[in-house]
Amino acid sequence: MQLVANIIVLSAIYALISCGYVLIYRVSRVLNLAHGELMMVGAYLLLMTASFTSNPMVAIPVAAILSLTMGALVYLLLMRRMTGESVLAAILTTIALGILLRGLIVIFFSAAHQYPAVPLGIHSSSVQVLPGARISSLSLILVIVTALVYASLFAFLRLSRWGLRMRAAGQNPLLAAQRGINLHGIYAMVWAIAMFTGSVAGMLISLDAGLDQTLIMIGLKAFPAALVGGLDSLLGALIGSLIVAAAEVLLIQYVNPLLADVVPFLILIVMLVVRPWGLFGTREALDRV
């Protein structure tokens, strides 16, 4: 039972992070390899707001709004210049952005392990979720948040006018523009949402476990989850996260704990060989990576 609970928590973490990869890829065909760093920046934004106020009901929403804004700015100031350039150039730009952010974080916040939960007075307690299984209260919140985020994303993409425009822009950007849609607005919005969901994940993880640059590793491990499901499918990201998390937890338990950081990428490689477009992705989607 404890194993099941652990798998659910870990897959919720991966799912909350990997939807950012999927959203950006699906709408603009860009693979955002700075997603792990952006997620870490989100967590540091919380550390920053926590130094101004000790009220988590202020600090967390303010940090979340800052991350939303910053996501849009990343597109408008940087990625916007990459439209019309090759996809490879765009991906390289995200890698460079990631490295730059790592450096800036060390300069502004130091490389030390820090705890945003302390100034906010948050103490994680342990709750019984299943018979014989306990998880931390923050993990429980994370699972609930992930469920909420996915439910709203599905509803947003299926039912709202803006969601429809996003799907259209992902399928044929030029035609979307000729239907009166401002592509830069759509892309800025999707970068903002991706950074927002990633940052929420980063904040919740760092409230539970503290914060330093190793957070990027978790962001990177969510990438195989997105790819296993198929990079352009949200449902795929959800199921891919479950698969990667289950494999990781089970192998740690029964084989060797040192495998933790290796398993997701092992799955990634197997997947790329067997079915590169993922479980739920469209086959042609990957041609454009």
Rule CB under 8 A: is residue 165 a binding residue for another protein?
A: yes
Give me 223's structure tokens.
């990438």
CA 219 – CA 39 distance, rounded (Å): 7
Q: Which of residues 65-84 bind another protein (CB under 8 A)?
A: 83-84
Question: By CB under 8 A, is residue 155 in contact with another protein?
Answer: no
DSSP secondary structure of 108-154: HH-SS-B-THHHHT----EEEEETTEEEEHHHHHHHHHHHHHHHHHH
Shortest Å distance, C-beta 242 to another protein: 25
Which segment (3-11, 35-43, 69-77, 180-188) binds another protein by CB under 8 A?
180-188
Residue 184 CB, nearest approach to another protein (Å)? 8
For residues 241 and 62, give the distance between their C-alpha atoms in angstroms, rounded to a whole number. Answer: 28
Among 76, 133, 147, 168, binds another protein (CB under 8 A): 168
Half-sphere exposure of 2 (CA within 13 A, CB side): 5
Nearest-approach distance from CB 85 to another protein, in angstroms: 8
Q: Select the residue interacting with another protein from 57, 77, 125, 161 (CB under 8 A).
A: 161
Q: Contact between 179 and another protein (CB under 8 A)?
A: yes
Stretch that binds another protein, among 2-10, 102-110, 168-176, 259-267 (CB under 8 A): 168-176
Q: How many residues bind another protein (CB under 8 A)?
A: 20
Mark the segment that binds another protein (CB under 8 A) among 60-68, 181-189, 222-230, 242-250.
181-189
Helix (H, G, I), strand (E, B) or coil at 211: strand
- Contact (CB, 8 A) for 229 and 279: yes
Closest CA to 217 of 102, 60, 47, 49: 102
Under the binding rule (CB under 8 A), the answer on residue 125 touching another protein is no
Distance CA 59, CA 47 (A): 9
Among the candidate windows 98-106, 169-177, 216-224, 261-269, which touches another protein by CB under 8 A? 169-177
Residues in the chain: 289
Q: What distance in Å separates the CA atoms of residue 64 and residue 122, rounded to the nearest whole number? A: 17
CB < 8 Å & 24+ apart, contacts of 123-131: 124/207, 124/208, 129/5, 130/1, 130/4, 130/5, 131/1
C-beta closer to another protein: residue 42 or 173: 173
Binding piece for another protein, criterion CB under 8 A, among 174-182, 192-200, 222-230, 272-280: 174-182
- Write out the residues near another protein by the rule CB under 8 A: 83-84, 161, 164-165, 167-168, 171-183
